[in-house]
Amino acid sequence: MRAKPFVVRFQFSDLLQGDVEHDSQLGGVIPAISVAHLTMIGKSPFWRRRNAKRPDLPDISLSGAGPRAAGPAKSAPPRRALDSVGPRLARQDPVAMEGSDMSHVYDSLPAPIVAACEQVIEAYLTGAVPSADPRLLDTSESMLLAESAALEAVAMLAEQQSSTSNLLFADLLEDPTFAPLAPAMRQILHFLRARLAGQNPTLRLDPATPAPTLTLLLIAAQALSSAAASEDDTTASENDSAAELFAEMKTRLAGEPMDRRVPAGDLAFGLDDALADRVDDETFLRDGIRRALTGTVPVRRVLSHTAGHVLVVLDLAARPDVEDLFRLLSADPPSGGADTHVRWRMLPMPAPAMSLFRLEINWLEPVHIDLAIAFDTDNHGKELRAIACAEVVALSFVDPADIRSGRHDPDAPVITALIPAHRESLTDLLSKLEHQ
């Protein structure tokens, strides 16, 4: 056990339960994509449905035979660790982008990696057998391109449909074939929506997350497929539209991609047990901060009153599912109230005034939805103490100030969802922080 200059390590393990995990951006290796991951696509009922519409395509191989049987491409580079900065952080540096005549998304990306990523998307859209070399998808460059493609495609879907709801990704999220990818897929979708909404989200992926690059490419492909399906219901037109949208996506990536016009956010892998004891304290603390902030929605304002009422106004632009839940709870509340679980966690910081509190809410009915909110003692110290004195907390995505200013229809109801404050737990954490 390495020396501790402050108490983060010990309090963190007690108050933020769960294994400390590995961060690929800080020296780890991206989980491998295998032939099995790619042939998994061919087993999908979705793939078979598309093939039934395309008699000109060969039968899907369920055993990995076919294009992959000849072995990996000779040009495939070996898997490697990400460096301490990584291409993802490099694209946030204006100096790194200076002097480039092309989009930074494609800048310095090897052509075989670009071709492999694009082949996966094209295979999904056409119902063909994915033939990309899995090793080409096991690099930091491929993950960078995959994220940029997914972001661009989701933005195009939003332009086409005015929505990026999970219903438009049902072929992926509900297909048993993609079940191993579905948990991370939902998290990544929230992350991409948050970036497009102008937020600066954090997503700390479990180091065992399977095939994140493939997951991002499938999100991109499904977004394009959903956008194409909205244009025309006929199979031929849908295929033509998908091809046109795919071409448009590549043109946008090569020009002025969305990736350069929205906040980058922080997408990284967590520290695993092997690395947790070897990294320096700053790296360890950064991993803890990512854990505390992962998947949280921004707090716009907290209003508290002397009567003990607390209203937390949230920015739910990236969580339309939570907005829909609030509307449902308001219009047709379950008898006896919604079955809701609430949990407070705390990440103490070297400076107690900057400590982070994470409120996790789990609705079990009428639909199963999870939500996390982050507070810090510097900006929300008074509000946290007010919540510690309350029985319930009201959550809303409408700020009363918007009604007074005319930004929100004064005749429309302010929809709120009530949750238990769980004040005993919060009071205990605040007390521990005071005695740190």
Please state, in angstroms and rounded to a whole number, the distance separating the CA atoms of residues 24 and 212: 12
Radius of gyration, CA atoms only, the chain = 23
Instruction: Specify if 110 maps to a domain.
Output: yes
Instruction: Specify if 288 maps to a domain.
Output: no
Nearest-10 Cα torsion for 14, 356, 203, 419: 90
CA separation, residue 288 to residues 95, 116, 378 (Å): 29, 34, 18
CB 108 within 8 A of CB 101: no
Instruction: Specify if 46 maps to a domain.
Output: yes
Predicted local distance difference test score (pLDDT) of residue 173: 85
Predicted local distance difference test score (pLDDT) of residue 246: 95
Domain extent, residue 50, equals: 18-281
Burial of 282 (0-12, 13-18, 19+ CB in 10 A): exposed
Please state, in angstroms and rounded to a whole number, the distance separating the CA atoms of residues 60 and 63: 9
The total domain count for the chain is 2
Instruction: Specify if 52 maps to a domain.
Output: yes
Burial of 129 (0-12, 13-18, 19+ CB in 10 A): buried
Predicted local distance difference test score (pLDDT) of residue 101: 40
Instruction: Specify if 156 maps to a domain.
Output: yes
Map tokens 């737990």 to a residue.
425
Q: Which of 40, 43, 59 is nearest to 51 (CA)?
A: 59
Intervals of the chain under pLDDT 70:
1-105, 230-239, 305-308, 336, 352, 404-406, 408-410
Predicted local distance difference test score (pLDDT) of residue 126: 86
Instruction: Specify if 105 maps to a domain.
Output: yes
Same domain, 31 and 108: yes
Predicted local distance difference test score (pLDDT) of residue 94: 33
Same domain, 226 and 343: no
Predicted local distance difference test score (pLDDT) of residue 104: 59
pLDDT digits (tens, 9 = 90+) for 79-109: 223 332 333 333 333 333 333 344 556 777 8
H/E stretch holding 269? strand 266-269
385 alpha-carbon distance from chain centroid: 30
Same domain, 252 and 390: no
Predicted local distance difference test score (pLDDT) of residue 345: 94
CB 361 within 8 A of CB 276: no
Predicted local distance difference test score (pLDDT) of residue 70: 30
Please state, in angstroms and rounded to a whole number, the distance separating the CA atoms of residues 367 and 381: 32
Predicted local distance difference test score (pLDDT) of residue 25: 38
CB atoms within 10 A of CB 27: 17
Same domain, 342 and 252: no
Amino acid making up residue 207: P
Final residue belonging to a domain, choices 238, 255, 281: 281
pTM of the model: 0.76
Q: What is the largest CA-CA distance in the chain?
A: 73
> For the chain, how many residues are written?
436
Same domain, 301 and 275: no
Final residue belonging to a domain, choices 231, 258, 281: 281
Instruction: Specify if 358 maps to a domain.
Output: yes
Same domain, 191 and 304: no
Final residue belonging to a domain, choices 281, 315, 345: 281
Q: Given the DSSP bridges, would you call strands 310-314 and 369-376 parallel, antiparallel or unpaired?
A: unpaired
Same domain, 304 and 276: no
Instruction: Specify if 361 maps to a domain.
Output: yes
Same domain, 307 and 250: no
Same domain, 379 and 277: no
Same domain, 64 and 205: yes
Same domain, 277 and 305: no
Same domain, 351 and 375: yes
